[in-house]
Amino acid sequence: MVKKDLSIEFLGVKFPNPFCLSSSPVGNDYDMCAKAYDVGWGGVVFKTIGPKSYVINEVSPRFDTLTKEAEPFVGFKNMEQIAEHSLEENLADIRRLKKDYPNNVLIASIMGNDEETWEDLARKVTEAGADMIEMNLSCPQMTSHAMGSDVGTNPELCKRYCQAVKRGSKLPMMAKMTPNITDMVPVAKACLEGGADGIAAINTIKSICNIDLDKKIGMPIVNGKSSISGYSGKAVKPVALRFIQQLRNGIPNLQISGIGGVETWEDAAEFILVGSRTIQVTTGIMQYGYRIVEDLCNGLMHYMEEQKVNKLEELVGLANKNIIPAEELDRDYIVYPEIDKDKCVGCGRCYISCYDGAHQAMEWDEETRRPSCNHDKCVGCLLCGHVCPVGAISKGEIVFKKTAKPGRKIADIRL
Amino acid sequence: MSKNYLEEYDAAFTPKLVMEEASRCLLCHDAPCSKSCPAGTDPAKFIRSVRFKNFKGAAETVRINNILGSICARVCPTERYCQQGCSRSGIDKPIDIGRIQRYITDFEDSLKMDILEKKPLNGKRVAVVGSGPAGLASAGYLALEGFEVTVFEKEAKAGGYLRYGIPEYRLPSEVVDKEVKRIQKLGVKIECGHLVEELESLKKEYDAVVVASGHNKGKVLPIFAGKRFVKTAVDFLHNAKKKKGNIKLPENVLVIGGGDVAMDTVTTLKLLGVPHVTDVVYETFAEFKASKKELIGSQEQGVTIIDGYIPVSLKGKTVKFQHRFIPSELKIKADLIILAVGQYTEAGLLGLEVKKTQEVEETANRVKDNLFVAGDIAHGEKTVVYAVRSGKEVTYAIKKFLGVK
């Protein structure tokens, strides 16, 4: 039985493990958050609390999913906005959670519609006992343009709202970024200038998941119409990792709470390696329940064991330096595919993909139903390896190109 | 799995399960499955259509390539054909192609898709004797090519062995009805209750005649000849299906034979409530002829199967068997004995010279003059999917013979 210390400090607050509910339907009230703590979540970002004047009125239905073959959904579209309970109810729940779960972290997510309300909400959640504040500058489905992701693309506005929150509270505070922007760094910098201590990224991506082909309406259908709204789940992980990497490049040592499609410990480890200190999850929970934290924690412990690290902190950001601009990559060599003919089941998918999607280098023996690679044509793209259903194709022989710098040694190449 | 004779034994795929099965498919290049379907149903193509959510396209592929697609989906011993070469076997087990095809053809039915398009009439008329799988397939393909086709069937309903042989739990009559209707919709006339006793007048009246009367008689081993308590599997299955399983059976039945017909017989007996069903088989399990699926199905129903024995004598109602290889004897007494030891054709009665399988070239369906054969008579005892192929072949041969383009 593996036992590793998963605790980590983020913005000066100690988390028993890095896994938190993100601000969303999964942390909507006391009972839900209490159950999540009981199952093992290290922290909770309570569903975003808005100003009293902003009345929540949700649509029905409000979700849609992107499926692929027989997979459970890979992407999830959500039209729900922020907490629908009254401000008083939410504050009471926060108070009670902190009393009953003093060792777990409770983060209050807030969203104002002007400086005054941001400041007021910050003050109120601090009084209620929250450990940290997350500013929701990024919800893409708000019914007001003074709130949500429209704010999150405006650095100046973000800075002013951060300042307002800091006036209302001395708690550590992170600003939650929208990915519906080309470059997140200027907004994150503005937030830090305004007083934010760290950044949470990413919120959901504006999306249309599916169109009903008979009715010609986006999904989900709300009385004959639909809207663009936030997309999440496994499918957005690559986008989230990219933004986090760019944030860490643009703002060295930035403290980040990573969000975006985490389902497994492997996903979580990737977020940590690009520089996240905590991990927030919603879609995985909506799909599979709070129980996924068991395998997130246990799997991450095993990974720490394999990596021979005792503190999770040691893994944070280890991949950042290995992700470099395309122009700096070594372009001197080709690595040819190596085909394990015993593993090969003779489906010919490598042959099809190489012919139709690459360089016609894979040759096909019709008699034996086995492929072989013609090195004269192969450019070493290794598409073949990606389509092989049995993992029979791996990286094989390395050869330097004619254009390579002289004197290079194969032994120096790290595959 | 159903335990009722009148209910389909295997459950159908749900939309989710069919996607799951289709996504197990490796989508092979030059797919072995498609190369090993005698009728050219092209499973690789229709499975790929399913995988990419094109169920209608999948239905078109099945139906255009296999005019009896809904029936083959249920009764084809796929392990001997398409599934045999399946590359997925290299990982775990072959794709359940039959069940995917069943899903697709059910989908086709549910939408009442009308896929087949016939050519304009070419002015030539063809008579088909027999409405079993080969007769139906021949009639269908001929009609598609513009022939005016009339089928003569001696029974009250069309379908031959499909209707009166294969048990209801494996092939519901409703499926046969729909398939027959589909062929009638192409303009094929089916005259039921019409026994053809000689061919000369048909040969004169029609531009071509196809005899597809099948191997419709069960063989009887000499030691059992003339005994009232001995029946052939063909007759037993016919009776059971005609009476919808409403037949009287004793408590202890012995079946002899180990092919698919034998499996149909023992499973039917069990589903109809016979407590003791014993099947003695000439082949050892290693040589078994029946498809694995049917063998497992019968074992699940609790049939006792004894392999490797030959019946040598009958005393009263007790059969004595000897093992083929080891010195071992077996005596079994039964109230009813059913023989599933092969079938033969009565086409000889029509003055047809019946050749053995090996002597018939697969594309030479013409016997003499304007007389052609299809199905078991042409190829020897085979499967429904082979009958479909035979229907295509005879259509091609007749077109060539009559100079139809």
CB pairs under 8 A between A and B: 47
CATH, residue B177: 3.50.50.60
Q: Looking at residues B86-93, what average pLDDT do you find?
A: 95
Counting Cα atoms < 13 Å in the Cβ hemisphere of B284 gives 6
**Closest-CA residue of chain B to A343:** B90
- Nearest-Cα residue of chain A relative to residue B52: A69
* Candidates B21, B23, B26; nearest CB to A347: B26
Task: Classify B100 as helix, strand or coil.
Answer: helix
- Which tokens go with A249? 């490049």
Mean pLDDT along residues B371-395: 90
CATH class of A8-322: alpha beta
The verdict on B269 and B201 lying in the same domain is: no
Residues of B with CB under 8 A from a CB of A: 16-17, 19-23, 26-30, 32, 51, 87-91
Last residue of a domain, one of B110, B141, B162: B110
Residues B92 and B29 in one domain: yes
CA distance A67 to chain B (A): 11
Could you count the other beta carbons within 10 Å of the beta carbon of residue B273?
10
Q: Which residues contact B256 (CB under 8 A, 6 or more apart)?
A: B221, B262, B279, B280, B281, B311, B319, B337, B338, B339, B340, B341
Lowest mean pLDDT among A18-22, A68-72, A89-93, A342-346: A68-72
More confident residue, B356 or A306: A306
- In three-state secondary structure terms, B321 is strand
Please give the residue range of the domain that contains residue B24: 15-110
Is the pLDDT at B391 greater than 50, yes or no? yes
Q: How far apart are CA A168 and CA A108, in angstroms?
A: 13
**Same domain for B243 and B262:** yes
Contact A347 B22 (CB under 8 A): no
CB contact under 8 A, B91 and A348: no
pLDDT, mean of residues B326-354: 87
Tokens encoding A111: 């969203």
Number of domains in chain B: 3
Calpha distance A21→A19 (Å, rounded): 7
Rounded distance, CA B23 to CA B95, Å? Answer: 9
Asked whether the beta carbons of residue B26 and residue A351 sit closer than 8 angstroms, the reply is no
User: Which residue intervals of chain A bear CATH 3.20.20.70?
Assistant: 8-322
Q: What CATH number is given to the structural domain containing B41?
A: 1.10.1060.10
CA–CA gap between residue A200 and residue A108 (Å, rounded): 13
On whether residue B81 sits in a domain, the answer given is yes
Q: Which two tokens stand for residue A299?
A: 């799997």
Shared-domain flag, residues B190 and B270:
no
Same domain, B222 and B334: yes
The pLDDT of residue B242 is above 60: yes
At residue B353, the pLDDT reads 63
CA distance B292 to chain A (A): 23
Whether B332 and B364 map to the same domain: the answer is no
Residues of B in contact with A389 (CB under 8 A): 26, 91
Q: How does pLDDT run across A235-266, given as a tens digit for each residue?
A: 999 999 999 999 999 999 999 999 999 999 99
User: In this structure, what token pair is assigned to residue A253?
Assistant: 């040592």
> For residue B351, what pLDDT is reported?
72
CATH 3.30.70.20 positions along chain A are 330-412
Using the beta-carbon criterion (under 8 Å), do B26 and A364 form an inter-chain contact?
A: no
Query: Using the beta-carbon criterion (under 8 Å), do B20 and A364 form an inter-chain contact?
Result: no
Place of tokens 């290995």: A322
| B259 within domain boundaries | yes
Domain boundary pick from B110, B140, B167: B110
Tens digits of residue pLDDT in A316-375: 999 999 999 999 999 999 999 999 999 999 999 999 999 999 999 999 999 999 999 999
Q: What is the mean pLDDT of residues B221-231?
A: 95
Same domain, B146 and B235: no
Residues of A with a catalytic annotation lie at 139
Element housing B331 (H / E): strand B329-333
**B382 or A359: which carries more pLDDT confidence?**
A359
pLDDT digits (tens, 9 = 90+) for A117-153: 999 999 999 999 999 999 999 988 888 888 888 899 9
B257 with B316, same domain: the answer is: yes
B246 and B131 in one domain?
Answer: no
Asked if residue B74 is part of any domain, the answer here is: yes
Residue B154 and residue B204 share a domain: yes
From B298, B317, B343, give the residue that closes a domain.
B343
Among A14-18, A268-272, B238-242, the least confident range = B238-242
Supply A360's token pair.
Answer: 């016609």
Is the same domain home to B225 and B202? Answer: no
- Strands B230-232 and B336-339, sheet pairing: parallel
Chain B residues within an 8 Å CB radius of A349: 26-29
Task: Give B398 to chain A, closest Cα distance, Å.
Answer: 34
Interface of A with B (CB under 8 A): 69-71, 344-349, 351-352, 364, 366, 369, 389-390
Architecture of domain A330-412: 2-Layer Sandwich (3.30)
- Residue B4: inside a domain: no
Q: Is the peptide bond before A252 cis (omega within 30 degrees of 0)?
A: no
CA dist A139 and A81 (Å) reads: 7
DSSP A367-403: TTTEEEE-TTT--S--HHHHH-TT--EEEEEEEE-TT
In 3D, which of A150, A158, A170, A169 has the Cα closest to residue A194?
A158
CB-nearest to B90 from A69, A345, A349 is A345
Question: How do beta strands B252-256 and B336-339 pair?
Answer: parallel
Whether residue B100 is found in the same domain as residue B196: no
